[in-house]
Amino acid sequence: MIGKVLGNRYEIIEKIGGGGMALVYKAKCKLLNRYVAIKVLRSEFTNDEEFIDKFRRESQAAASLSHPNIVNIYDVGVEGDIYYIVMEYVKGTTLKNIIREKGKLNINEVLNFTMQIADGLNHAHRNHIVHRDIKPHNIMVTEDGRVKVTDFGIARAATSSTVTNTSNVIGSVHYFSPEQARGGYTDEKSDIYSLGIVMYEMITGSVPFKGESPISVALKHVQEDVLFPSDVEENIPKNIRDIITKCVKKDQSLRYNNVGELLKDLKKYKNTDEENFVNLDDISDSPTIIIPAVNNESPYEGEEFKGKRRDKNENSKKGKKNNKFIILVAILSAFLLTSAIAFGFVFIRDLVKPPSEVVVPYVVNKPIEVAKKEIEEAGFNFIIEKEIYNSQYKEGYIIEQNVGKEETRRVGADIKVIASKGQKQVKVPDLINKYSTDIEVELGGLKLEEGNVEYKHDDVIPSGVIIDQIPKPNTMVAEGSEIDFIVSEGPKRTSVLMPKLEGKDIKVAKKEIISKGLVVGEISYKNNDEIEKDIVINQSFPFGSEVWENNTVDLVVSSGPEEEENKDKEDREDSSESNNDNSEKTETMVIELPSNKEKVRVKALKIQGDKEELVHDKTYNTDEESILLTVSGTGSAKIEIYIDGEPYGSKTVNFEEDN
């Protein structure tokens, strides 16, 4: 994608991130001369109508929002099988990276970030848009501390029927709400829950729930309460603890009704010293109703009903006499029946045999020791048929048995079970100092997933090379785990404004190019009857344009009128003939091509005194790995090599010496 132009307007410069649905690139808008971020749907999803629909919903939802704490959407487009969204380029880092670097944030930082996130969400909710994936990874923080909520990748307009698909729960498991885990109704309160988890992580340095698998973490969101670690609880102001606790209530009705209420409490904490102002027991969604007290004589009974009650009282007196007779008969019948049973038991007990089959205990999801004891105490043989890896059952627990619930077997039968060896563990490969293009292949073979990829500038490590990974190499992790990476972007590149070189002497132009951090490129001469010799006629980048440092600037220089050029040519030929050894010799150099690009352009300049000559300019496929560069000449010269406009190296060659 690097170098590709989308919509005849946006030139892709570099990859800056990626998520589950899309890759994010930094691009230059040629029309407005500004940097933008472009989110491109991953190629594996372009034939999936469901993902394309989600991608379109993201653009439609986010494009309707305009708020300083939400990343702006500029444009949406499709080019062939490339679906993309053009958005505001935010220069900064993610809140997740800030938490990783600092560990824990102080109260003022937590309050500042939370209020900005809440402001953005409040605007979205007012426009009936629920984000549904609030997490530190989706919160950008600019260099001046401005928060930008991004990645409305699974947001959609909230309606009365907004229900998450139970077969494919969307969101990030460490942050999503219990109703998302259950596949239930999601609304603005789901975002409030996720924001509460983000506040918890900012203030403690870690998420509240961890587990061996996403399923186990999701279950904790549904079943367990969020508790603060004892070592940090004392340092957290009670009102802040209460605010977080109210955000992360399991019952949606016990959370804040909307983000506006949350903002009100945050501002109250910031601006007052009032204590215990957070109401944790407010169930405003359940209306209070008045139920009349139930008395012996209800005020709602009509005259007809009261009349029936009087008749019933009169009849009850007659019934009491009949009841005494019935009770006496019942006692006598019970005595006779008991006697008959006792006599019959004594008579036939020797003829009755114990049952030949009994119910087999059901031991699935029980530890092996417990299962063995229950099976054997019931009179059966306990046999472990095999042990297998399983991500849903802990190691040493029963996965299944050959007899179902409530089924019977003859005493002494073999009861066979399959036990879990737990989730299969694999060793994390060492990808440090390898190119990021190797990630998918290396992890795929081990059934590991690529996690968050962060890009950082590095003055030593080349662009595209992995600087670090989490977990560390050779760590044992469960299959399916995500591995996060930090990838080098190479040295930090800065841009400069192109100076005006046209009309200046070639020597002055060269000095200006070098002083701006640029590289002198190809210098070609052209006859001109109106412009003096050695004056720059044309420059490869227009005056005032923005150019990357170390870019090569080519110049066209006047050689004066044609007669003067011919005279100079004759003088050079005479000088060449007067040389004792006028035959040219060659010098061969080996150039190693970088492997992190598909194609590269190689240029070579030969510099002798004030004269510069472009002696090589060709594009190569990097499959060749290295090329042989042959340069011819006489005397001594300096050969400078450039790959894609960046200096590769230089060498001084004496063509008079034997090679």
Long-range CB contacts (< 8 A, 24+ apart) of 398-402?
398/363, 398/364, 398/365, 398/366, 398/367, 398/368, 398/371, 399/364, 400/364, 401/360, 401/362, 401/363, 401/364
Split at pLDDT 50, 70, 90, the class of 194 is very high
For residue 394, give the 3-state DSSP assignment.
Answer: coil
Shared-domain flag, residues 139 and 243: yes
What CA–CA distances, in Å, run from 598 to 271, 515, 601? Answer: 58, 32, 11
Q: What is the pTM of this model?
A: 0.46
Q: What is the pLDDT of residue 277?
A: 86
What rounded mean pLDDT belongs to the chain? Answer: 80
For residue 76, give the 3-state DSSP assignment.
Answer: strand
Q: Is 70 exceeded by the pLDDT of residue 578?
A: no
Least confident of 105-119, 368-382, 383-397: 383-397
Q: What is the pLDDT of residue 103?
A: 85
Instruction: Tell me the β-bridge partners of 70.
Output: 149
Pairing between β-strand 599-608 and β-strand 611-621 as defined by DSSP bridges? antiparallel
632 in a domain, yes or no?
Answer: yes
Q: What is the pLDDT of residue 310?
A: 47
Shared-domain flag, residues 117 and 15: no
Q: Is 50 exceeded by the pLDDT of residue 233?
A: yes
Average pLDDT over residues 19-27: 81
Q: What is the pLDDT of residue 580?
A: 46
176-190 confidence digits (pLDDT tens): 899 888 877 778 999
Q: What is the pLDDT of residue 123?
A: 92
For residue 581, give every residue at least 6 positions away whose Cβ sits within 8 Å of its Cβ, in sequence order, or none.
634, 656
Q: What is the pLDDT of residue 170?
A: 42
346 in a domain, yes or no?
Answer: no
Q: What is the pLDDT of residue 443?
A: 86
CATH number at residue 377: 3.30.10.20
Q: Which two tokens stand for residue 487?
A: 């990838």
Q: Is 80 exceeded by the pLDDT of residue 88?
A: yes
Among the options 133, 151, 187, 242, which is catalytic?
A: 133
121-179 confidence digits (pLDDT tens): 999 999 888 888 899 988 999 988 899 998 775 554 443 334 444 333 444 788 989 98
For the chain, how long is the longest CA-to-CA vector? 152
Q: Is 70 exceeded by the pLDDT of residue 309?
A: no
User: φ, ψ for residue 4 (rounded to 5)?
Assistant: -75, 145
Sign of the torsion formed by the C-alpha atoms of 411, 412, 418 and 420: positive
Length of the chain equals 659
Shared-domain flag, residues 51 and 96: no
Last residue of a domain, which of 210, 241, 271? Answer: 271
Q: What is the pLDDT of residue 323?
A: 56
Q: What is the pLDDT of residue 255?
A: 93
Q: Is 70 exceeded by the pLDDT of residue 28?
A: yes
Shared-domain flag, residues 13 and 151: no
Higher-pLDDT residue of 589 and 19 is 589
Last residue of a domain, which of 57, 88, 119? Answer: 88
Shared-domain flag, residues 102 and 53: no
601-630 confidence digits (pLDDT tens): 888 888 887 778 888 888 888 877 788 888
331 in a domain, yes or no?
Answer: no
465-485 confidence digits (pLDDT tens): 899 999 999 999 888 889 999
81 in a domain, yes or no?
Answer: yes
* Segments forming the whole domain that contains residue 228: 92-271
H or E segment at 507?
helix 506-515
Of the candidates 123, 112, 118, the one whose C-alpha atom is nearest the C-alpha of residue 134 is 118
Name residue 404's amino acid. G
Distance CA(34)–CA(90), nearest Å, equals 12
43 in a domain, yes or no?
Answer: yes
Output the CA angle 66-158-222, nearest 5 degrees.
Answer: 115
Higher-pLDDT residue of 142 and 348 is 142
Q: Is 90 exceeded by the pLDDT of residue 376?
A: yes
Sign of the torsion formed by the C-alpha atoms of 224, 229, 230 and 232: negative
Average pLDDT over residues 546-574: 74
CATH number at residue 220: 1.10.510.10
Active-site residue, 534 included? no
Split at pLDDT 50, 70, 90, the class of 298 is very low
Split at pLDDT 50, 70, 90, the class of 317 is very low
H or E segment at 630?
strand 626-633
Least confident of 172-181, 347-356, 504-513: 347-356
Q: What is the pLDDT of residue 245?
A: 93
47-73 confidence digits (pLDDT tens): 777 767 766 766 776 777 889 999 988
Shared-domain flag, residues 121 and 36: no
Average pLDDT over residues 333-345: 59
Split at pLDDT 50, 70, 90, the class of 585 is confident
Average pLDDT over residues 285-292: 36
Average pLDDT over residues 17-28: 81
Shared-domain flag, residues 84 and 108: no
For residue 175, the tally of other CB atoms under 10 A from its CB is: 26
Average pLDDT over residues 223-248: 86
Distance CA(189)–CA(178), nearest Å, equals 11
Shared-domain flag, residues 255 and 361: no
Find out whether 266 and 119 touch, Cβ atoms under 8 Å.
no
Q: Which residue has the tokens 């005056």?
A: 543
Q: Is 90 exceeded by the pLDDT of residue 113?
A: yes
- Give the number of domains in the chain: 5
The secondary structure of 422-446, three-state, reads CCCEEECCCCCCCEHHHHHHHHHCC
Q: Is 90 exceeded by the pLDDT of residue 77?
A: no
Shared-domain flag, residues 466 and 545: no
Shared-domain flag, residues 12 and 76: yes
Least confident of 85-94, 357-366, 634-643: 634-643
Q: What is the pLDDT of residue 20?
A: 63
282 in a domain, yes or no?
Answer: no
Last residue of a domain, which of 399, 416, 433? Answer: 416
CATH number at residue 33: 3.30.200.20
Shared-domain flag, residues 378 and 473: no
Q: Is 60 exceeded by the pLDDT of residue 503?
A: yes
Instruction: Tell me the β-bridge partners of 11.
Output: 5, 28
Q: What is the pLDDT of residue 441?
A: 78
Split at pLDDT 50, 70, 90, the class of 339 is low
Q: Is 80 exceeded by the pLDDT of residue 321?
A: no
325 in a domain, yes or no?
Answer: no
307 in a domain, yes or no?
Answer: no
Higher-pLDDT residue of 242 and 287 is 242
Higher-pLDDT residue of 313 and 437 is 437
Shared-domain flag, residues 253 and 364: no
Q: What percent of the chain has pLDDT over 90?
A: 28
Find out whether 553 and 539 touch, Cβ atoms under 8 Å.
yes
